């Protein structure tokens, strides 16, 4: 076998730089400093945690929590926090070993150990950040002789207000379920109107654009107020004499119809024009192409952003309280002013969070799946 190309050393082509030394062959940097810092941080936080725990323990006793529950829980927590010392200690031992390897010339081992040591140190810092947040929150709860806990988290009041608030929450559910169905239809109509092709459809397009501009720009609470108080005042036949929840549904459909129309529009535009060309070339009309080819593909893509808008809509059902319907928030406000305590409102917050978290995770999962498919495809 002969070499296909001789390397011309006298006259380089100039296409790549002169050879230089292999720069990744040096010894790794020393990370014992980082490792020591990790240990100190860990120790400080363990003591801070213990101190906070002691305070919580005392407070809980005065609130009448049984000692038989409290003692084991406190002991378990106090021991569990020691876990932060494990990565810290590991970081130090690896960093030391790495230093020895460097001095005895085992550079590859030194690099591996250094990388492990700094990973352990970073892990400790992450854990520490979490502990700082937990300690801060606990201290906030017990601050000013438990004022915060008593205001927001008065357990007996939460317990008693829950059934009333939960019952009122069905109004929110009714509003968002009906509004979501209407929004899905209305948003698609607006999106198709905005995307109508040709010169003749210009007025329709302009109208649809004006609508989305207005209702995306207007705060939902103002739309709610104008619809909920304005329509009854105007006394328009059919529209002047509806229930507060119906006005809420109208207002939310108008507002979120504009958002969702944008989502639909983006979805439809994201389908490659070659799909339209293929469908039209088979003799399908514009509307048939939309109906059978474009919208079904767009819907798959826009489900995650659509769900995001729905989460927004569900939360905004609480705005119905400005026009006086007794939803969960309004009910909680009544309870709160009767008791001069906000714990009932916290219950509403928990309910909203409880229904939106699964949806948020679902959106994340769908987006992730989409990404995987795109990367894989």
Partner 1 sequence: MPILEIKNISKAYGSYRVFDGLTLDVEEHQVVCLIGASGCGKSTLLRCINGLEPIGSGEILIHSDRVSGPGVDVNALRRDVGIVFQSYNLFPHMTVMENITLAPRKVLNQHAKDAEVQARHLLERIGLGQKANVYPDSLSGGQQQRVAIVRALAMGPMIMLLDEITSALDPELVSEVLNIVRDLAADGMTMVLATHEMGFAREVATKVCFLAEGKVYEEGPPEQIFNEPQGERTQAFLKRIVAAGRL
Q: Is 144 in the site for partner 1 (CB under 8 A)?
A: no
Q: Give whichever of 39 and 279 is closer to partner 1, judged by the CB atom.
A: 279
Which value, in Å, is the radius of gyration of the alpha carbons in the chain?
Answer: 32
Q: Is 156 in the site for partner 1 (CB under 8 A)?
A: no
Minimal distance, residue 365 CB to partner 1, in Å: 20
# binding residues, partner 1 (CB under 8 A): 18
Give the residue, chosen from 104, 285, 337, 371, that forms a contact with partner 1 under the rule CB under 8 A: 285
Q: SS3 string of 153-185?
A: CCHHHHHHHHHHHHHHHHHHHHHHHHHHHHHHH
The binding track of 212-251 with respect to partner 1, each residue x by CB under 8 A or -, is ----------------------------------------
Which region among 10-18, 128-136, 241-249, 287-295 touches partner 1 (by CB under 8 A)? Answer: 287-295
Give the residue, chosen from 277, 353, 357, 360, that forms a contact with partner 1 under the rule CB under 8 A: 277
Helices 202-217, 244-270: inter-axial angle, 10-degree rounding: 120
For 71, other C-beta atoms within 10 Å of its C-beta total 11
Q: Is 23 in the site for partner 1 (CB under 8 A)?
A: no
Residue that has been written with the tokens 């932060």 in this structure: 84
Residue that has been written with the tokens 């808008």 in this structure: 309
Minimal distance, residue 100 CB to partner 1, in Å: 55
The pair of three-digit structure tokens given for residue 267, joined into one six-digit string: 């979805």
Which region among 205-213, 252-260, 286-294, 323-331 touches partner 1 (by CB under 8 A)? Answer: 286-294
Minimal distance, residue 296 CB to partner 1, in Å: 5
The residues in 291-350 that bind partner 1, with binding defined as CB under 8 A, are: 292-293, 296-297, 300
Q: Is 275 in the site for partner 1 (CB under 8 A)?
A: yes
The answer to whether 105 and 135 have CB atoms below 8 angstroms apart is no
Give the residue, chosen from 198, 203, 217, 283, that forms a contact with partner 1 under the rule CB under 8 A: 283
Minimal distance, residue 262 CB to partner 1, in Å: 23
CA dist list (Å): 94 to 88, 113, 200: 10, 6, 74
Give the residue, chosen from 83, 282, 357, 360, that forms a contact with partner 1 under the rule CB under 8 A: 282
Half-sphere exposure of 333 (CA within 13 A, CB side): 12
Which is nearest to 254 in space by CA: 324, 319, 201, 161? 319
Q: Is 371 in the site for partner 1 (CB under 8 A)?
A: no
Which is nearest to 248 in space by CA: 224, 214, 218, 282? 224
The answer to whether 248 and 323 have CB atoms below 8 angstroms apart is yes
Which region among 16-24, 115-123, 279-287, 349-357 touches partner 1 (by CB under 8 A)? Answer: 279-287
The answer to whether 212 and 190 have CB atoms below 8 angstroms apart is yes
- Secondary structure of residue 243 in the 3-state scheme: coil
Q: Give whichever of 144 and 285 is closer to partner 1, judged by the CB atom.
A: 285
Give the residue, chosen from 111, 216, 280, 333, that forms a contact with partner 1 under the rule CB under 8 A: 280
Applying CB under 8 A, the residues found at the interface with partner 1 are 274-275, 277-285, 288, 292-293, 296-297, 300, 377
């Amino acid at each position: 076998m002969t070499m296909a190309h001789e390397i011309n050393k006298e006259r380089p082509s100039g296409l790549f730089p002169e050879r230089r030394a292999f720069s990744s062959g040096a010894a790794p940097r020393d990370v014992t400093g980082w490792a020591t810092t990790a240990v100190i941080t860990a120790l400080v936080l363990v003591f801070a945690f213990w101190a906070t725990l002691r305070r919580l323990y005392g407070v809980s006793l005065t609130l009448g929590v049984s000692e038989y529950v409290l003692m084991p829980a406190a002991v378990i927590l106090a021991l569990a926090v020691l876990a932060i010392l494990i990565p810290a200690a590991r970081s130090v031992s690896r960093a030391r070993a790495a230093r020895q390897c460097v001095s005895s010339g085992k550079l590859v081992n030194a690099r591996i150990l250094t990388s492990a040591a700094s990973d352990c140190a970073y892990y400790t810092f992450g854990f520490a950040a979490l502990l700082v947040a937990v300690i801060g929150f606990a201290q906030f709860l017990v601050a000013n002789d438990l004022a915060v806990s008593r205001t927001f988290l008065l357990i007996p009041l939460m317990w008693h207000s829950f059934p009333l608030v939960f019952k009122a929450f069905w109004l929110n559910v009714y509003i968002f379920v009906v509004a979501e169905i209407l929004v899905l239809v209305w948003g698609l109509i607006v999106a198709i109107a905005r995307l109508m092709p040709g010169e003749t459809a210009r007025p329709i397009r302009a109208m649809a654009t004006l609508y989305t501009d207005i209702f995306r720009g207007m705060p939902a609470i103002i739309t709610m107020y104008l619809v909920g108080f304005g329509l009854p005042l105007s006394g328009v036949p059919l529209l002047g004499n509806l229930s507060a929840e119906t006005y809420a549904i109208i207002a939310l459909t108008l507002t979120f119809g504009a958002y969702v129309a944008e989502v639909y529009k983006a979805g439809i535009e994201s389908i490659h024009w070659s799909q339209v060309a293929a469908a039209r070339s088979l003799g399908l009309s514009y509307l048939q192409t939309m109906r059978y080819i474009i919208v079904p593909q767009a819907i798959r893509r826009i489900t995650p952003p659509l769900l995001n808008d729905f989460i927004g809509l569900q939360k905004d059902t609480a705005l119905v309280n400005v026009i006086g319907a007794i939803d969960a928030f309004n009910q909680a406000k009544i309870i709160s002013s009767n008791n001069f305590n906000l714990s009932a409102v916290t219950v509403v917050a928990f309910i909203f969070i409880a229904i939106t978290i699964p949806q948020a995770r679902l959106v994340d999962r769908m987006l992730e799946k989409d990404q995987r498919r795109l990367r894989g495809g």
